[in-house]
Amino acid sequence: MEIHDVLGDSRPVQLATKSAIYVWGYNQRGQTGRKDKESQLRIPKSLPPELFGCPAGFNSRWLDIACGREHTAAVASDGSLFTWGANDFGQLGDGTEEGRKHPQKVQLLQTEFVKSVSCGAHCTAAIAEPCENDGTISTSRLWVWGKNQGSNYPCLYWGAFTPNTVHYMMLLFNIHLL
């Protein structure tokens, strides 16, 4: 693979074949994906690939990761979205209010290729497009779920425990809420 610099010269570049997620900090609600005894990680530790359903030594790559107040979300290179941690307001996107201490795929987005993710205190937003896209036009959509807290504006989806798409006009009005 080659990359072009500002002047147009090209040179070979080696891209990483795998990446890891490192976590640290407060873990009372499982947001770091670590065991209970590690409630406050002061030194970064990587999450093992087995937590994401990958065999040991698997070359996993991560496109994006985001942290909310007490939950975490990560996008794998195949477009899968994983969430874990607190889920009091449905911020994990699994249709429940039960927290998880280990990552799980967001099942309702399995037909989507998630490009990026962002977390608020108690909500999650992802930009994704259908996996069956032929690439001729962009079909990216914004998906949001959880609680929109701390705003004087109308909530996007009050109490939405599963991902929902945002209509274009609503997106323009509320984009700053994310």
pLDDT tens digits for range 24-44: 888 888 888 876 656 777 888
pLDDT tens digits for range 53-107: 876 556 678 999 999 999 999 999 999 999 999 999 999 999 899 999 999 999 9
Determine the average pLDDT of the residues in 98-123.
93
Beta carbons of 131 and 148 less than 8 angstroms apart: no
Q: Does a structural domain hold residue 18? A: no
The boundaries of the domain holding residue 111 are: 59-177
Determine the average pLDDT of the residues in 148-155.
54
What predicted TM-score, i.e. pTM, was given to this entire model?
Answer: 0.75
| The total number of structural domains that make up the chain | 1
